[in-house]
Structure 1
Amino acid sequence: MRFLAFDLGAESGRAIVGTLRDGRVTLDEVYRFPNEPVRVLDNLYWDALRLFHEIKKGLLLAVARYGRDIQSIGIDTWGVDFALLGEKDILLSNPYHYRDSRTQGVMEEAFKRVPQDKIFYRTGIQFMPINSLYQLLAYRLQQPSLLAQAKAFLMMPDLFNFFLTGQKASEFTIATTTQMYDPRSGDWARELLTSLELPSSILPEIHPPGTILGTLLPQVAKETGAREVPVIAPASHDTASAVAAVPAQMPDYLYISSGTWSLVGVEVPEPVINQDTLRLNFTNEGGVAGTFRLLKNVVGLWLVQECRRAFERQGEILDYTTLTQMAREARPLVSLVDPDHPSFLNPEDMPAAIQKFCQETGQPVPQSKGEIIRCALESLALKYRWVLDKLEEILRKRLHVIHIVGGGTKNELLCQFTADATNRPVLAGPVEATAMGNLLIQAMALKQVNSLAELREIVRNSCELKVYEPQDTSAWEEAYRKFVGFL
């Protein structure tokens, strides 16, 4: 059977057809398109209508290649961002990008109304100014007349599902990224929203991953040449789909979904909401098959991506392979940064921001491109080590192996640094974990896959994992002691 996944990330989107046969899934990327934010005056937006145009184009190309063989469609995207619809389902505003500056100071305003610990104990979600809760509060504080017109709140994948089917609904894993979901009640945290004077009536019903939302609208089917196939909500948060496809066989492992962001965590049967997770600012996001993802959001390869853009602005176009080789040749463990320091959220010049951090912390300032990239990659690996240590403290057990999935698996230097920094073997792969998870959850919805365990067995059968063993761990132990001092 064949299924169509749309995987939209912070840099690009893809339409991928997956064929499930004999316990294996094979992938065919039929279309790739850029996903670039648009700055208008002082604000940063997503171009939602352009993205929907690209989704329809991807559907058209998939139908041209596979015709009626496509059994269903599923969409996953990044978390936290959303759209507001008004009367007659009109899009009230272009959805804001999570890196837009309008949420500066809004989280602190929320704490004046509701204590920070109360928000955490209600939602179990870590505190980041980009969370949907603070984005929605920014509307109330800065654009109250626009919020008053809102009739529906839809997360980004939910918006595209609505455009495809006409059905307004939210999927569980994406809803949990908002810091507006109460995992104990299994519904929106309506009391919290009322305390912040935010409307809960605009929130849609929440459905579990693998829900068939409806079929393609006739006009969309006609425009793309598709039949009216089912549209399924997979794990609509891209990280949830990726974690579903972690090819683990044994318990007690750490996963890292590695891309623009690094999501570092474990799979648990229920959320872990206590003083430790509050103090350490960990998060409990929804997973597949009744699970939760206890994790930490770490700024990931964003550091390298933004360095590459800065180098391009200076007139030097370098691919990631070249940058990684430059880093490989630089001296090891000279200077380190905290990847999650606020100065790295959206700087105008990432290399300059890294240099400034090193200068202000009394370290040698990296000068060459290779030194800057190596500093970023080593710092990421050491942040993974910190998250690993804290998770083991919370869970009171040792995590024996690390699974890295996603695009970051292609950075072999980072994978090796992770093994070295954590003193754990690293199993890297699959690269296309998000797409595999999306496609195979669609297959679960259509009764072609029976369980999460079977899904992971299919993933193991469908990809080769690369193993990285720890090396020179004593040097990394010394670097870790230095790194912890910056946190």
Structure 2
Amino acid sequence: MPEKNVIAIDLGASSGRLISGSFDGGKIALKEQFRFSNQPINLMDSLYWDHLKLFQSIKYGLSIAEKDLQTIESLSVDTWGVDYGFIDHLGKVINAPHSYRDGRSTRHQKEFEQQFPPEEYFFATGVQPDTIDSVMQLFADFKERPYLKNEIDSILFMPNLIEYFFSQEKVNEFTIASTSGLLDGQTRELSSEVFEKLAFEPRWFGEIQKKGRILGKLLPQIRKELGLHSEIEVISGVGHDTAAAVLALPIKEEEKFESGFISCGTWSIVGTQTDLPIVTKQAFEAGLTNEGCYDGGNRLLKNITGLWIVQELQKEWSYQGEMVDFGKMAELAAAAGPAKSYINPNYAAFANPGEMEQKIKDFLRLTGQALPKDRGELLRIIYESLALSYTQTIRLLEENTGKILQRIFMFGGGIQNDLLVQLTADYTQKTIQTGPVEASVTGNIISQLMTLKLLEEKDRVAVLKNSFESQTIQPQLAAKEAASATAAFEKIAETC
């Protein structure tokens, strides 16, 4: 088979990338073509995404990619969840899309919960209530700008909004829509209960698309502007970055319900696949949430504040005149030896930027624990606490699914930290399989290849194993010691 080139546009909450995937029928080769920043913009105490910069940066990246690759078959976009843009009756964007960190949802949280109590919301949607949820953001939008309801023709989630700019076709893809709190917890279609209770219009979102869809060729005016020769297909593939990553895991169909996953990055996402959403009181109280898979299945998971804490420390220390890279951080933590104290990564103060070292020490004082003597001990506390929070969540997943998770797949940039991976194996007492590092990008590419009929589902795992290296890590810590540390962590986590 002649080599085919597709472009994954992977947008994160701090940067965006165009990564090419070259497929020869048996192996995928990745290459970064272009990278650009993507920071939310604070304007008059509101946070927005610069959609115009995103569009322009992607166009520039496409021109670079075609010069390198000669021909491009298709492109598709994956992003973080929950955020969206408004389209008016002329097909134009209404204002810049808000960032999920914008404060307007918090201003209206109490009023929302009066109309839709948290447990009732979970049972309707299968989603844990959070001010970042699309449904809460929309509620706040209409409270502060009620005129919007008359101006809106369509609402598109972020990956679908960007694809619209390149195709002028409007769709909302299932995996990204599943993060919104707008879907029914059982049917996974738009929730009539949500829309009636909050006076939203289902027509704004259209039909929710499952699996991949070719939206059409790249707009001719864009091809002309960039001088492109390729007639690039714009594909709505797997829109949510974590769903894309799960598609990139070499998990056989018969093993997927006994396998867990940990997305290890700024956020840590710990989950497992289930046939149907799990919408029970036990799941609600455990803080578990349900999101969609590319094939229409379900991911039961929990979000944990992840390496954000370490990233904030790095930034803080750089402001003090010393840049400590992530590799050096791991070395310092390894040399420090076992932690004597723990933090709860989901403690509210850790989610906010600034003064992270002081916040950690304040938490340790609050919980009556020993303070670190140096940076190595401080970092060791963080890494062990993350691994222990993963362990606690894995146990909750097993209790709520009735399945014993035999193997845990770790992916994302965090798997380059050997210490964190080994600690996760030690405390979970599970076999850990790592990779790929670029899991979201890989899943994006896989979804395009399947949509173009260049790759069949039955061959997906073989192609992934042929394309990317993976390591298997076994526990080295005795089960009794792991259980003791887990109990001590959970006692701390319960108090704060």
TM-score (norm 1): 0.95
Of 418-427 and 177-186, the range deviating more from structure 2: 177-186
- Match of 1:348, SS? coil
Among 389, 409, 430, the residue aligned to 1:403: 409
Quote the offset at 1:87 in angstroms: 4.1
> Is the Cα contact below 8 Å between 1:429 and 1:465 reproduced in 2?
yes
- Match of 1:177, SS? coil
> Is the Cα contact below 8 Å between 2:341 and 2:381 reproduced in 1?
yes
The CA distance in 1 between the partners of 2:391 and 2:260, in whole Å, is: 11
The residue type paired with residue 141 of structure 2 is Y
The aligned counterpart of 1:134 is 136
The CA distance in 2 between the partners of 1:148 and 1:370, in whole Å, is: 56
The CA distance in 1 between the partners of 2:372 and 2:141, in whole Å, is: 41
Is residue 244 from structure 1 mapped to residue 240 from structure 2 by the alignment? Answer: no
Among 342, 354, 366, the residue aligned to 1:336: 342
Among 451, 456, 470, the residue aligned to 2:475: 470
Is residue 282 from structure 1 mapped to residue 288 from structure 2 by the alignment? Answer: yes
Is residue 232 from structure 1 mapped to residue 232 from structure 2 by the alignment? Answer: no
Among 350, 358, 368, the residue aligned to 1:362: 368
Quote the offset at 1:343 in angstroms: 1.4
Question: CA separation of 1:395/1:186 partners in 2, compared to 1, >3 Å: closer, same or farther?
Answer: closer
The CA distance in 2 between the partners of 1:107 and 1:189, in whole Å, is: 20
Is residue 351 from structure 1 mapped to residue 350 from structure 2 by the alignment? Answer: no
**Seq. identity, %:** 38
Kindly tell me the number of residue pairs found equivalent between the two proteins: 485
Question: CA separation of 1:197/1:281 partners in 2, compared to 1, >3 Å: closer, same or farther?
Answer: same
Question: CA separation of 1:365/1:40 partners in 2, compared to 1, >3 Å: closer, same or farther?
Answer: farther
Structure 2 residue ranges without an equivalent (≥5): none
The CA distance in 1 between the partners of 2:99 and 2:14, in whole Å, is: 12
The CA distance in 1 between the partners of 2:173 and 2:303, in whole Å, is: 20
Is residue 459 from structure 1 mapped to residue 464 from structure 2 by the alignment? Answer: yes
Cα-to-partner distance string for 1:383-410 (whole Å, 9 max, x where unaligned): 1101110111112221111110122211
- Match of 1:284, SS? strand
The aligned counterpart of 1:81 is 83
The aligned counterpart of 1:172 is 174
Quote the offset at 1:132 in angstroms: 0.9
> Is the Cα contact below 8 Å between 2:73 and 2:231 reproduced in 1?
no
Quote the offset at 1:146 in angstroms: 4.2
The aligned counterpart of 1:57 is 60
Is residue 299 from structure 1 mapped to residue 305 from structure 2 by the alignment? Answer: yes
Quote the offset at 1:322 in angstroms: 1.5
Question: CA separation of 1:328/1:147 partners in 2, compared to 1, >3 Å: closer, same or farther?
Answer: farther
Cα-to-partner distance string for 1:215-260 (whole Å, 9 max, x where unaligned): 2111112222333321111111010010011112444111112211
The aligned counterpart of 1:104 is 106
Is residue 372 from structure 1 mapped to residue 372 from structure 2 by the alignment? Answer: no
Provide the aligned C-alpha RMSD in A. Answer: 1.8
Cα-to-partner distance string for 1:331-376 (whole Å, 9 max, x where unaligned): 4222211111221222332222222222211112335332332222
> Is the Cα contact below 8 Å between 2:25 and 2:454 reproduced in 1?
no
The residue type paired with residue 149 of structure 1 is E
The aligned counterpart of 1:2 is 5
The CA distance in 2 between the partners of 1:145 and 1:316, in whole Å, is: 50
Quote the offset at 1:56 in angstroms: 0.9
Among 21, 41, 44, the residue aligned to 2:44: 41
The CA distance in 1 between the partners of 2:106 and 2:50, in whole Å, is: 22
Question: CA separation of 1:100/1:372 partners in 2, compared to 1, >3 Å: closer, same or farther?
Answer: farther
The aligned counterpart of 1:200 is 202
- Match of 1:188, SS? coil
> Is the Cα contact below 8 Å between 2:427 and 2:477 reproduced in 1?
no
The residue type paired with residue 429 of structure 2 is N
> Is the Cα contact below 8 Å between 1:154 and 1:204 reproduced in 2?
no
The CA distance in 1 between the partners of 2:57 and 2:148, in whole Å, is: 28
The CA distance in 2 between the partners of 1:120 and 1:336, in whole Å, is: 30
Cα-to-partner distance string for 1:89-119 (whole Å, 9 max, x where unaligned): 3322222222222222534322210232222
Q: Which runs of 4+ in 1 moved over 6 A?
A: none
> Is the Cα contact below 8 Å between 2:174 and 2:296 reproduced in 1?
no
Cα-to-partner distance string for 1:149-189 (whole Å, 9 max, x where unaligned): 33321111011011011111111100000011125334212
Cα-to-partner distance string for 1:21-79 (whole Å, 9 max, x where unaligned): 242111111111122222223222222211111111111111111122x1111110110
> Is the Cα contact below 8 Å between 1:4 and 1:439 reproduced in 2?
yes
> Is the Cα contact below 8 Å between 2:339 and 2:377 reproduced in 1?
no
The CA distance in 2 between the partners of 1:204 and 1:312, in whole Å, is: 47
Among 263, 281, 300, the residue aligned to 2:269: 263
The residue type paired with residue 425 of structure 1 is T
The aligned counterpart of 1:163 is 165
Question: CA separation of 1:83/1:319 partners in 2, compared to 1, >3 Å: closer, same or farther?
Answer: same
The residue type paired with residue 78 of structure 2 is D
> Is the Cα contact below 8 Å between 1:127 and 1:281 reproduced in 2?
no
The aligned counterpart of 1:25 is 28
Cα-to-partner distance string for 1:174-214 (whole Å, 9 max, x where unaligned): 00000111253342123313312334332233211311122
- Match of 2:93, SS? coil
The aligned counterpart of 2:154 is 152
Of 381-390 and 133-142, the range deviating more from structure 2: 133-142
Question: CA separation of 1:97/1:373 partners in 2, compared to 1, >3 Å: closer, same or farther?
Answer: farther
Cα-to-partner distance string for 1:434-459 (whole Å, 9 max, x where unaligned): 111111111111111111x4212211
- Match of 2:70, SS? helix
Among 411, 427, 431, the residue aligned to 1:421: 427
> Is the Cα contact below 8 Å between 2:25 and 2:455 reproduced in 1?
no
The CA distance in 2 between the partners of 1:105 and 1:363, in whole Å, is: 35
The CA distance in 2 between the partners of 1:336 and 1:49, in whole Å, is: 43
- Match of 1:214, SS? strand
The residue type paired with residue 13 of structure 1 is G
- Match of 2:96, SS? coil
Of 343-352 and 138-147, the range deviating more from structure 2: 138-147
